Amino acid sequence: MGLFQKYLKDRSIFKNREVLRHSYRPHILPHRKEQMDTIASILAPSIRNETPSNILIYGKTGTGKTASVRYVGAELEKACGSVGVECNVVHLNCEIIDTQYRVFAQIATLLEDGEGRSSDRPRSNIPMTGWPTDQVYTELKNLIEAIGGVHIVVLDEIDKLVKKSGDETLYNLSRINSELKKAKVCIVGISNDLLFTSYLDHRVLSSLSEEEIVFPPYNAPQLVDILQQRADYAFNEGVLDENVIPLCAALAAQEHGDARRALDLLRVSGELTERKNAEIVTEKHVREARNKIEADSLIECVKTLPTQSKAVLYAMLLFPEMDKQVFTSGEVVQVYRDVALALDLDVLTHRRITDLISELDMLGVIKARLVSRGRYGRTKEMWFGARTKKILETLQQEDRFTDERLNQIDISRFKTLFR
């Protein structure tokens, strides 16, 4: 008890810190009424037991896409229930459920065992592994037909599914309605990547993207409203300095208008204040929280990158050693080839390397911008914000990146080549 004695005193500045977590679902979503109304209008035919159009929803991380879809989905199920129409909204996170088999099996599981489902509901008994995929598809189709009604399948992080497993899952789901008589299926895809549709076959794209909705980033005043709404429930009265919420909102607005980022800043600021036994959260705590979050998230992100992405990143880290702070995608490709050969990796194509560079930019590991070179076309310029030393140290925690062959890469040759 002695170690935790000081924490037993009821001096917490938090009333309910869970309100500041990403998993919390607010009853009101500020500044997303227009987008929710649009989603509701597209899904409204479900109330008449008709097939709604498929929807693709785009937007950067933390712009309220998932929360909005969950809210509309819950309201739709209530509305359909009030008029006696069978309607089920199932949510899948494709960052975790990223193969065709697992998608079909998980949809079946959610339809059978979801909240409020009847115990005598039809069942498919699809195992999580072991069956041929076409058999799983047939069982899922038969289950949906036996249940009847309208089924909204929400594929969150849909781009992760497509990049990992191709577009066959989406092709099969988009054509399932032609094989159903008593039931209807609608697909709602949610993605942070505006370019992921370039991976899709034109037949899949035409049927999947019947309606497209873009969620814009939040601006600073909108983030202030969101944070104030959560802070009223999360903190005890009088513990926030008046400048804390505007500062959290301003910092998050500078970085793509990410509400999750703003909420993390506010929560971590409160936690740091509490650990120091201070009574008021101040701007100083917010700035400390920003440094802590950036360090933690960047390192975790680098650790979990695929090997080829790490190789591309390692190639970029050689440019500061050449006294070259800004470099282009073409230059990175040339250095990457030497890195890949030194590590005994398959050398990727120029296009695949530029895709990996775009992902590193989206993750915030590097900064990048497109620049025009006139008649020579456009290229991507990149640079590191800070913490290159920390990124390199993180890469070198993996034995592969302490290989002596990497030290034999001739940096002076590239220095002359890129002059």
Report whether 342 belongs to an annotated binding site: no
* 163 burial level (CB within 10 Å; 0-12, 13-18, 19+): middle
Is 230 annotated among the ligand-binding residues?
Answer: yes
- Rounded distance, CA 264 to CA 260, Å? 6
Q: What are phi and psi of 199, to 5 degrees?
A: -85, -10
> Under 8 Å CB-to-CB from 207, ≥6 apart: which residues?
54, 174, 175
With a pLDDT cut of 70, the percent of the chain lying above it is 93
Q: What is the DSSP letter of 120?
A: T
Q: What pLDDT shows up at residue 114?
A: 61
**Which ranges constitute the DSSP H helices of 29-153?**
33-43, 65-82, 100-113, 133-147
Per residue in 243-255, is it b (16+ CB within 10 Å) or e — as a string? Answer: ebbbbbbbbbbee
What pLDDT shows up at residue 108? Answer: 92
Name residues whose C-beta falls within 8 Å of residue 54's C-beta, 6 or more positions apart in sequence.
174, 186, 187, 188, 189, 207, 208, 209, 210, 211
What letter does residue 343 receive in the DSSP assignment? Answer: T
Query: So what's the pLDDT on residue 314?
Result: 92
Helices (H), 318-387: 329-342, 350-363
Residue whose pair of structure tokens reads 């400390």 in the numeric block: 288
Is 379 annotated as contributing to ligand binding? no
- Residue 366 is encoded by which pair of tokens? 């590097």
What SS3 state is found at 1?
A: coil
CB atoms within 10 A of CB 188: 27
Residue-wise pLDDT tens digits, 71-130: 999 999 999 999 999 999 999 999 888 889 999 999 999 998 765 555 556 777 788 778
pLDDT value, residue 384: 84
Chain centroid to Cα 311, Å, comes to 23
* The pLDDT value given to residue 155: 95
Series of mean pLDDT values for 10-residue runs along the chain (419 residues) = 63 86 87 95 95 92 92 94 94 90 92 64 75 91 93 93 85 90 94 80 79 92 95 92 94 85 93 88 92 76 87 91 87 92 90 88 81 73 79 85 84 82
pLDDT at 5: 66
Note the pLDDT of residue 312: 93
Nearest to 222 by CA among 205, 206, 204, 246: 246
d(CA 199, CA 386): 32
Q: Is 66 annotated as a binding residue?
A: yes
- Can you tell me the distance from the alpha carbon of 378 to that of 308, in angstroms, rounded to the nearest whole number? 24
| Residue 175 among known ligand-binding residues | no
Q: Is this structure's pTM higher than 0.85? A: no
H/E element holding 165? helix 158-165
Q: What are the angstrom distances between the C-alpha of 324 and each of 271, 350, 373? A: 39, 21, 19
Query: What pLDDT was estimated at residue 269?
Result: 94
The first and second tokens of residue 74, run together, are: 């819950």
Q: Tell me which amino acid residue 231 is.
A: A
| Cβ within 8 Å of residue 222, ≥6 positions away | 30, 31, 257
pLDDT digits (tens, 9 = 90+) for 266-281: 999 999 998 888 889 9
CB atoms within 10 A of CB 11: 11
Phi, psi of 66 (to 5 degrees): -65, -45
Annotated binding-site residue? 292: no
Q: Which residue has the tokens 């592994």?
A: 129
**354 marked as part of a ligand binding site:** no
Residue 121 confidence (pLDDT): 64
